[in-house]
Amino acid sequence: DSGVTQTPKHLITATGQRVTLRCSPRSGDLSVYWYQQSLDQGLQFLIQYYNGEERAKGNILERFSAQQFPDLHSELNLSSLELGDSALYFCASSVATGSKNIQYFGAGTRLSVL
Amino acid sequence: GQQLNQSPQSMFIQEGEDVSMNCTSSSIFNTWLWYKQDPGEGPVLLIALYKAGELTSNGRLTAQFGITRKDSFLNISASIPSDVGIYFCAGTSGTYKYIFGTGTRLKVLA
Protein backbone atom coordinates (compact mmCIF):
# COMPACT_ATOMS: atom_id res chain seq x y z
CA ASP A 1 0.00 0.00 0.00
CA SER A 2 1.57 3.26 -1.20
CA GLY A 3 -0.55 5.41 1.08
CA VAL A 4 -2.04 7.27 -1.89
CA THR A 5 -5.81 6.75 -2.14
CA GLN A 6 -7.79 7.19 -5.33
CA THR A 7 -11.53 7.01 -5.74
CA PRO A 8 -13.48 5.68 -7.45
CA LYS A 9 -11.62 2.61 -8.64
CA HIS A 10 -13.82 2.25 -11.70
CA LEU A 11 -15.98 4.76 -13.53
CA ILE A 12 -18.22 4.11 -16.50
CA THR A 13 -19.86 7.03 -18.22
CA ALA A 14 -21.09 8.26 -21.59
CA THR A 15 -19.61 10.62 -24.12
CA GLY A 16 -20.26 14.25 -23.38
CA GLN A 17 -20.46 13.71 -19.63
CA ARG A 18 -18.30 15.14 -16.86
CA VAL A 19 -16.58 13.19 -14.09
CA THR A 20 -14.45 13.95 -11.07
CA LEU A 21 -11.60 11.77 -9.89
CA ARG A 22 -10.34 12.14 -6.35
CA CYS A 23 -6.92 11.62 -4.83
CA SER A 24 -5.73 11.71 -1.22
CA PRO A 25 -1.94 11.93 -1.01
CA ARG A 26 0.28 10.16 1.49
CA SER A 27 0.31 11.75 4.90
CA GLY A 28 2.80 14.63 4.86
CA ASP A 29 3.11 14.84 1.08
CA LEU A 30 2.52 18.31 -0.36
CA SER A 31 2.81 17.52 -4.06
CA VAL A 32 0.20 15.74 -6.13
CA TYR A 33 0.65 14.64 -9.74
CA TRP A 34 -1.90 13.33 -12.22
CA TYR A 35 -1.06 10.90 -15.03
CA GLN A 36 -3.04 9.27 -17.81
CA GLN A 37 -2.26 5.75 -18.99
CA SER A 38 -4.02 4.57 -22.12
CA LEU A 39 -4.21 0.88 -22.99
CA ASP A 40 -0.74 -0.65 -23.25
CA GLN A 41 0.88 2.76 -23.10
CA GLY A 42 3.24 4.49 -20.74
CA LEU A 43 2.32 7.18 -18.29
CA GLN A 44 1.57 10.65 -19.62
CA PHE A 45 2.04 13.47 -17.15
CA LEU A 46 -0.99 15.75 -16.93
CA ILE A 47 -0.54 18.23 -14.12
CA GLN A 48 1.14 18.83 -10.76
CA TYR A 49 0.02 20.73 -7.69
CA TYR A 50 2.18 21.71 -4.77
CA ASN A 51 0.61 22.84 -1.52
CA GLY A 52 -2.54 24.01 -3.22
CA GLU A 53 -0.98 25.74 -6.19
CA GLU A 54 -0.55 24.55 -9.72
CA ARG A 55 3.15 23.87 -10.28
CA ALA A 56 3.38 22.40 -13.74
CA LYS A 57 1.30 21.32 -16.67
CA GLY A 58 2.00 18.49 -19.04
CA ASN A 59 -0.14 17.15 -21.85
CA ILE A 60 -3.44 18.08 -20.29
CA LEU A 61 -6.40 18.85 -22.51
CA GLU A 62 -8.37 22.05 -22.04
CA ARG A 63 -11.41 19.89 -21.21
CA PHE A 64 -9.53 18.64 -18.16
CA SER A 65 -8.83 20.60 -15.01
CA ALA A 66 -7.61 19.88 -11.53
CA GLN A 67 -7.27 21.47 -8.15
CA GLN A 68 -5.71 20.78 -4.80
CA PHE A 69 -7.64 21.67 -1.69
CA PRO A 70 -6.41 23.04 1.66
CA ASP A 71 -6.43 19.53 3.13
CA LEU A 72 -4.10 18.59 0.21
CA HIS A 73 -6.45 16.18 -1.49
CA SER A 74 -6.80 16.74 -5.20
CA GLU A 75 -9.50 16.33 -7.80
CA LEU A 76 -9.18 15.86 -11.54
CA ASN A 77 -12.20 17.01 -13.51
CA LEU A 78 -12.77 15.62 -16.98
CA SER A 79 -15.54 17.20 -19.06
CA SER A 80 -17.13 16.74 -22.48
CA LEU A 81 -15.79 13.21 -22.38
CA GLU A 82 -14.82 11.45 -25.57
CA LEU A 83 -14.25 7.78 -26.29
CA GLY A 84 -10.51 8.42 -26.42
CA ASP A 85 -10.50 9.60 -22.83
CA SER A 86 -10.99 6.02 -21.68
CA ALA A 87 -7.85 5.22 -19.72
CA LEU A 88 -6.35 4.62 -16.33
CA TYR A 89 -5.81 7.83 -14.41
CA PHE A 90 -3.17 7.74 -11.72
CA CYS A 91 -2.43 10.13 -8.94
CA ALA A 92 0.99 10.24 -7.33
CA SER A 93 2.29 12.22 -4.39
CA SER A 94 5.64 13.27 -3.07
CA VAL A 95 6.89 15.15 -0.05
CA ALA A 96 7.93 18.20 -2.01
CA THR A 97 8.99 18.86 -5.54
CA GLY A 98 12.18 18.36 -7.49
CA SER A 99 14.07 15.40 -8.82
CA LYS A 100 14.88 13.75 -5.51
CA ASN A 101 11.30 13.66 -4.36
CA ILE A 102 10.09 10.20 -5.23
CA GLN A 103 6.55 9.93 -6.50
CA TYR A 104 4.37 7.26 -4.94
CA PHE A 105 1.39 6.13 -6.99
CA GLY A 106 -2.17 5.30 -6.11
CA ALA A 107 -3.97 2.27 -7.54
CA GLY A 108 -5.64 4.38 -10.21
CA THR A 109 -9.12 5.08 -11.50
CA ARG A 110 -10.16 3.17 -14.58
CA LEU A 111 -12.41 5.39 -16.72
CA SER A 112 -14.51 3.86 -19.44
CA VAL A 113 -16.33 6.23 -21.77
CA LEU A 114 -19.05 4.49 -23.78
CA GLY B 1 4.11 13.37 -25.32
CA GLN B 2 7.80 12.85 -24.79
CA GLN B 3 8.79 9.34 -23.71
CA LEU B 4 11.88 7.35 -23.10
CA ASN B 5 12.81 4.44 -25.32
CA GLN B 6 12.60 1.28 -23.26
CA SER B 7 13.61 -2.15 -24.49
CA PRO B 8 12.70 -4.84 -24.92
CA GLN B 9 9.00 -4.09 -25.21
CA SER B 10 8.15 -7.54 -23.93
CA MET B 11 9.88 -10.73 -23.00
CA PHE B 12 9.07 -14.28 -22.07
CA ILE B 13 11.58 -16.03 -19.88
CA GLN B 14 11.88 -19.26 -17.98
CA GLU B 15 11.71 -19.21 -14.21
CA GLY B 16 15.20 -18.97 -12.80
CA GLU B 17 16.63 -17.00 -15.70
CA ASP B 18 18.18 -13.59 -15.39
CA VAL B 19 16.47 -10.62 -17.06
CA SER B 20 17.95 -7.42 -18.45
CA MET B 21 16.15 -4.34 -19.71
CA ASN B 22 17.24 -0.82 -20.48
CA CYS B 23 16.04 2.66 -21.03
CA THR B 24 17.55 5.36 -23.21
CA SER B 25 16.92 9.05 -23.49
CA SER B 26 17.90 11.80 -25.88
CA SER B 27 18.36 14.08 -22.89
CA ILE B 28 20.71 13.95 -19.94
CA PHE B 29 18.97 13.00 -16.72
CA ASN B 30 20.12 13.40 -13.16
CA THR B 31 17.65 10.96 -11.63
CA TRP B 32 16.43 7.60 -12.86
CA LEU B 33 13.65 5.57 -11.29
CA TRP B 34 12.46 2.06 -11.96
CA TYR B 35 8.85 1.07 -11.23
CA LYS B 36 6.90 -2.17 -11.52
CA GLN B 37 3.20 -2.20 -12.35
CA ASP B 38 0.99 -5.20 -11.74
CA PRO B 39 -2.25 -5.54 -13.71
CA GLY B 40 -4.89 -3.14 -12.43
CA GLU B 41 -2.52 -1.53 -9.96
CA GLY B 42 -0.44 1.61 -9.78
CA PRO B 43 3.32 1.59 -10.37
CA VAL B 44 5.41 0.67 -7.36
CA LEU B 45 8.89 2.12 -6.94
CA LEU B 46 11.67 -0.46 -7.13
CA ILE B 47 14.92 1.51 -7.28
CA ALA B 48 15.99 5.16 -7.42
CA LEU B 49 19.32 6.29 -8.91
CA TYR B 50 20.81 9.74 -8.42
CA LYS B 51 24.38 9.63 -9.70
CA ALA B 52 26.03 8.67 -12.97
CA GLY B 53 27.60 5.23 -12.66
CA GLU B 54 25.61 4.39 -9.55
CA LEU B 55 24.75 0.74 -9.09
CA THR B 56 21.94 -0.01 -6.63
CA SER B 57 20.37 -3.30 -5.59
CA ASN B 58 17.02 -4.19 -4.10
CA GLY B 59 16.94 -7.91 -3.43
CA ARG B 60 17.23 -9.71 -6.74
CA LEU B 61 16.98 -6.43 -8.64
CA THR B 62 19.97 -4.33 -9.63
CA ALA B 63 19.81 -1.06 -11.51
CA GLN B 64 22.51 1.16 -12.91
CA PHE B 65 22.65 4.82 -13.84
CA GLY B 66 24.51 4.97 -17.14
CA ILE B 67 27.79 6.87 -17.36
CA THR B 68 26.48 9.03 -20.20
CA ARG B 69 23.49 9.97 -18.00
CA LYS B 70 21.29 9.14 -20.97
CA ASP B 71 20.54 5.56 -20.06
CA SER B 72 19.74 3.18 -17.27
CA PHE B 73 19.61 -0.57 -16.88
CA LEU B 74 17.62 -2.96 -14.73
CA ASN B 75 18.59 -6.56 -14.09
CA ILE B 76 16.51 -9.19 -12.34
CA SER B 77 18.34 -12.30 -11.24
CA ALA B 78 16.83 -15.77 -10.86
CA SER B 79 13.35 -14.69 -11.96
CA ILE B 80 10.27 -16.08 -10.24
CA PRO B 81 6.62 -16.11 -11.35
CA SER B 82 5.72 -13.05 -9.26
CA ASP B 83 8.18 -10.97 -11.29
CA VAL B 84 5.51 -10.86 -13.97
CA GLY B 85 4.35 -7.34 -14.72
CA ILE B 86 5.28 -4.18 -16.56
CA TYR B 87 8.53 -2.47 -15.67
CA PHE B 88 8.77 1.27 -16.29
CA CYS B 89 11.76 3.50 -16.18
CA ALA B 90 11.38 7.19 -15.46
CA GLY B 91 13.87 10.00 -15.61
CA THR B 92 14.15 13.68 -14.90
CA SER B 93 16.69 16.35 -15.69
CA GLY B 94 16.22 18.05 -12.38
CA THR B 95 12.71 19.39 -12.34
CA TYR B 96 9.47 18.04 -10.98
CA LYS B 97 8.64 16.44 -14.33
CA TYR B 98 9.44 12.78 -14.81
CA ILE B 99 9.38 11.27 -18.27
CA PHE B 100 8.24 7.66 -18.30
CA GLY B 101 9.40 4.86 -20.57
CA THR B 102 6.99 2.83 -22.65
CA GLY B 103 7.39 -0.20 -20.40
CA THR B 104 8.80 -3.71 -20.62
CA ARG B 105 6.22 -6.45 -20.24
CA LEU B 106 7.73 -9.43 -18.49
CA LYS B 107 6.19 -12.87 -18.50
CA VAL B 108 7.78 -15.73 -16.61
CA LEU B 109 7.16 -19.30 -17.65
CA ALA B 110 7.20 -21.73 -14.75
DSSP A25: P
Task: Tell me, yes or no, if B93 comes closer than 8 A to chain A by beta carbon.
Answer: yes
Provide the pLDDT for residue A65: 96
- Helix, strand and coil content of chain B, in percent to the nearest 5, comes to 5, 55, 45
- Taking only the tens place, the pLDDT of each residue in A65-109 is 999 999 999 999 999 999 999 999 999 999 876 666 788 999 999
Chosen for mutation from B98, B99, B104, B105 (greatest number of chain A CBs closer than 10 Å) is: B98
CA B50 to each of CA A113, A114, B31, B57: distance values in angstroms, whole numbers, following the listed order? 40, 43, 5, 13
Interface contact B88-A48, CB threshold 8 A = no
Please report residues of A whose CB lies closer than 8 A to that of B45.
Answer: 102-104
* Touching A: B residues 20-79, CB under 8 Å: 30-31, 33, 35, 40-45, 48, 50
Mean pLDDT, all residues of chain B: 90
Q: A19 near A10, Cβ under 8 Å? A: no
Mean pLDDT, all residues of chain A: 92
Provide the pLDDT for residue A85: 96
Provide the pLDDT for residue A43: 87
Lowest mean pLDDT among A4-8, A49-53, A71-75, A96-100: A96-100
Q: Average pLDDT for residues B37-53, to the nearest whole number? A: 91
Question: Which residue in the set B88, B96, B103 is minimally distant from A97, CB to CB?
Answer: B96
Which value, to the nearest 10 degrees, does the dihedral of the CA atoms of residues A88, B71, B36, B44 take? -80
Q: B29 near B92, Cβ under 8 Å? A: yes
- Of A29, A107, A8, which Cα lies nearest the Cα of A72? A29
- Taking only the tens place, the pLDDT of each residue in B26-42 is 889 989 999 999 987 89
- Of B4, B7, B22, B15, which Cα lies nearest the Cα of B63? B22
**Separation of alpha carbons B48 and B27, rounded Å:** 18
Residues contacting residue A8 through CB under 8 Å, at least 6 positions apart = A21, A22, A109
Provide the pLDDT for residue B3: 66
Q: Please name the amino acid found at residue B70.
A: K
Q: Average pLDDT for residues B73-88, to the nearest whole number? A: 94
Band (pLDDT 50/70/90 cuts) for residue B95 is low
Whether the predicted pLDDT of A42 surpasses 60: yes
Whether the predicted pLDDT of B1 surpasses 60: no
**Separation of alpha carbons B70 and B88, rounded Å:** 16
A84 three-state secondary structure: helix
- Across-strand partners of B57? B62
Provide the pLDDT for residue A99: 60
Q: B106 near B84, Cβ under 8 Å? A: yes
